[in-house]
Amino acid sequence: MDVTYKSTRNSSETATASQAILKGLAERGGLFVPDHIPALDVSLETLAKMSYKQVAYEVMKLMFTDFTEEELKHCIDGAYDKKFDTELIAPLVSKAGAHYLELFHGATIAFKDMALSILPYLLVTAAKKNNVKNDIVILTATSGDTGKAALAGFADVPGTKIIVFYPKNGVSPIQEKQMVTQKGNNTYVVGIVGNFDDAQTGVKNMFSDKALAEEMDRAGYQFSSANSINIGRLVPQMVYYVYAYTRLVADGTISVGEPINVVVPTGNFGNILAAYYAKEMGLPIAKFICASNENKVLYDFFATGVYDKNRDFILTSSPSMDILISSNLERLIYRIAGEDSEKNNQLMQALTKEGKYEITGEMRAKLSLFYGNYASEQETAATIKRVYTSDHYIMDTHTAVAATVYDKYVKDTGDKTPTVIASTASPYKFTRSVMEAIDTKYASQSDFALVDELNRISGVTIPQAIEDIRSAEILHDTVCDKAEMEQTVRDILKL
Ligand SMILES: *Cc1c(COP(=O)(O)O)cnc(C)c1O
């Protein structure tokens, strides 16, 4: 049976997979969700013998039912190639009592590459299938990693333009340098005076603006999204959970059917939601451990049933998780509200108007598979240092938030279930914070001196993504106020 996608804010707005990918966002700010999630139709034993690309096909064919086998395989082959520095694509590394799923071996060294290396292929294929004549303008808000991964994926892709908004003072030095040096004559990078939530809200408002859409259409353009609000991001992210589980089967750590837990350092709730969808496809995951940094709105939500963004926005050493409005949580809220778009609408309107909402006891009961906790800045740094000292394994700040929360979970519960920790970025992307966590003496050194020092103490090869920006020219220097985002888009597109 085909999977149809429907809006979380209006069940009668439906789309095929390719239409949902093209649109990115449903009308009135809704998100597209699958009407059902099919069960895997090959056994976990069989999947354990497959390559990443083969697993990707087995998962994606179930969710993207209006793509042909040839189309999907073309997209998968184009995405998961030499851009990754290992043929494994997502290696699983067992260290310090957990299994780290390294999702940062792609072109921009963060987990966003796992989906953004395939999204351009999916989008171009979807445009062809639906006879789209307009150029597609990818409008993206980034907390640091999506931006670069999307730029790299869409640079010079014919028929597309990409515009990225990032918080001017809210990303790491290396993240910013990666973005502002992006080549390609269809790429635009804009710093905003504001935080990630401002950027995401500005982008969502442009998506919901009908008049703007009509004007765009007259000029031969239409918007799509590279954020995890696009279902074309979430489905490719399901793949690596299936891959990780079946690697543990292949190496004898678990037997088929045995449960695992997953720990996900969370911001916009896309990555952990993909794990939840993978479970619904039949993957034996027992607990979803949601790790937050000091912006612990999700921890509070799981603890109290109240989602409340009315609090200070804290800039942390894990900037890609500095988020107070976790967009993809809406997809889970919709689910636990019994797929009732009216109920979901009421809660989301309360979030827009009052900045908070409270779910019912009945809804809370449906969240028992989730465990939330958070890590302070100090705890995060201590974890980096501890695991480096004990296991000679250097993790990035986001992964360290997850590892810290995992420790808290084990202390709280005594649960010894084998656990996969999503390792979402290379330590080279957050070199300064990582090195200062290991030793405060590094505080006085320059970013690239620290890169070389990280290489020396870890023995891990410096990724090409870092070598590329050492001497790269700055090509983008536009900065605007958060209130000027639409005008900036108009200027870029000459509307
Ligand atoms: C985006 C990102 C996250 C958060 O992922 P979500 O899907 O937004 O929850 C965590 N770590 C890193 C390094 C990221 O880039």
Q: Mind listing the pLDDT tens digit for each residue in 88-138?
A: 999 999 999 999 999 999 999 999 999 999 999 999 999 999 999 999 999
Centre a 10 Å sphere on the Cβ of residue 337 and count the other Cβ atoms it contains: 21
Residue type, 192: I
Is the CB of residue 399 below 6 angstroms from any atom belonging to ligand 1? no
pLDDT at 379 over 90: yes
List phi, psi (to 5°) of 180. Answer: -75, -5
**Alpha carbon 189 to chain centroid, angstroms:** 19
Q: What is the pLDDT of residue 316?
A: 96
* DSSP H/E element including 194: none
Per the CB < 8 A criterion, the answer to whether 150 and 162 are in contact is yes
Cross-strand partners of 306: 358
* Residue 292 beta carbon below 6 angstroms from any ligand 1 atom: no
- What span, in angstroms and rounded, lies between the C-alpha atoms of 258 and 280? 15
Calculated CA dihedral for residues 183, 185, 186, 187, nearest 10 degrees? 30
Q: Structurally, how many domains does the chain consist of? A: 1
Q: Write out the two tokens for 427.
A: 């330590």
Query: In testing the pocket of ligand 1, which one of 321, 370, 399, 401 has its CB within 8 Å of the most ligand atoms?
Result: 321
In a domain, 436, yes or no: yes
Residue 168 C-alpha to ligand 1 middle, in angstroms? Answer: 18
Nearest by Cα to 421 from 412, 408, 436, 440: 408
- What 3-state DSSP class applies to 290? strand
**pLDDT at residue 37 in the model:** 98
For the Cβ of 424 lying below 6 angstroms from any atom of ligand 1, the answer is yes
Asked if residue 341 lies in contact with residue 334, where contact means CB atoms within 8 angstroms, the answer is yes
Phi and psi angles of residue 259, each rounded to the nearest 5 degrees, phi first: -75, 155
pLDDT-derived band at 1 (thresholds 50, 70, 90) equals: confident
State the average pLDDT over residues 274-303: 98
Is the beta carbon of 429 within 6 A of some atom in ligand 1? Answer: no
Residue in 111, 110, 74, 103 with CA at minimum distance from that of residue 86: 103
| DSSP code per residue over 75-123 | HHHHHSSTTSSSTTSS-EEEETTEEEEE---STTSBTHHHHHTTHHHHH
175 located within any domain: no
- pLDDT band for position 143 (cuts 50, 70, 90): confident
SS3 content of the chain, % helix, strand, coil (to 5): 50, 15, 35
* Residue partners of 386: CB distance under 8 A and separation at least 6: none
Judge contact between 297 and 373, C-beta under 8 A: no
Distance CA 104, CA 114 (A): 8
Q: Which residues are known to be catalytic?
A: 112
Using a 6 Å cutoff on CB, does residue 110 contact ligand 1? yes
pLDDT of residue 393: 98
Q: Quick one: which atom of ligand 1 is closest to the CA of 268?
A: 8
Report the amino acid identity of residue 448: F
Pocket test for ligand 1, best of 424, 426, 430 (most atoms within 8 A of CB): 424
Residue 224 included in any domain: no
Task: Indicate the pLDDT class of residue 284, thresholds 50, 70 and 90.
Answer: very high
| 330 assigned to some structural domain | yes
Q: Does residue 323 fall inside a structural domain? A: yes
The response to whether residue 296 sits with its C-beta less than 6 Å from ligand 1 reads no
Distance 223 CA to ligand 1 centre (A): 23
- What is the domain range of residue 443? 92-109+232-461
Residue 42 lies in a domain: no
Span 266-282, average pLDDT: 98
Please give the Cα distance from 72 to 85 (Å, whole number). 22
Kindly state whether residue 190 falls inside one of the protein's structural domains.
no
H/E segment holding residue 247: helix 231-250
Residue 224's DSSP bridge partners are: 138
- Measured in Å, residue 267 CA sits from the centre of ligand 1 at 5
- Position 104 scores a pLDDT of 98
Average pLDDT of the chain is 96
Q: What is the pLDDT of residue 113?
A: 97
State whether the beta carbon of 269 lies less than 6 angstroms from ligand 1: yes
Euclidean distance between CA atoms 254 and 242, whole angstroms: 14
Q: Give the ligand 1 atom nearest the CA of 323.
A: 8
Measured from the Cα of 266, ligand 1's closest atom is 9
If you search the block for the tokens 């603006």, which residue do you land on? 209
Within a domain: 41: no
Mean pLDDT along residues 335-343: 97
Q: Would strands 419-423 and 260-265 be described as parallel, antiparallel, or unpaired?
A: parallel
Q: Whose CA is nearest to atom 14 of ligand 1?
A: 320
Query: What's the pLDDT score for residue 63?
Result: 98
Q: Distance between CA atoms of 184 and 444, rounded to whole angstroms?
A: 35
pLDDT over 90 for what percent of the chain? 97
Kindly state the average pLDDT of the residues 224-244. Answer: 96
CA of 110 to the centre of ligand 1 (A): 8
Which CATH number belongs to the domain containing residue 105 in this structure?
Answer: 3.40.50.1100
pLDDT digits (tens, 9 = 90+) for 436-478: 999 999 999 999 999 999 999 999 999 999 999 998 999 999 9
The verdict on the CB of residue 271 being under 6 Å from ligand 1 is yes
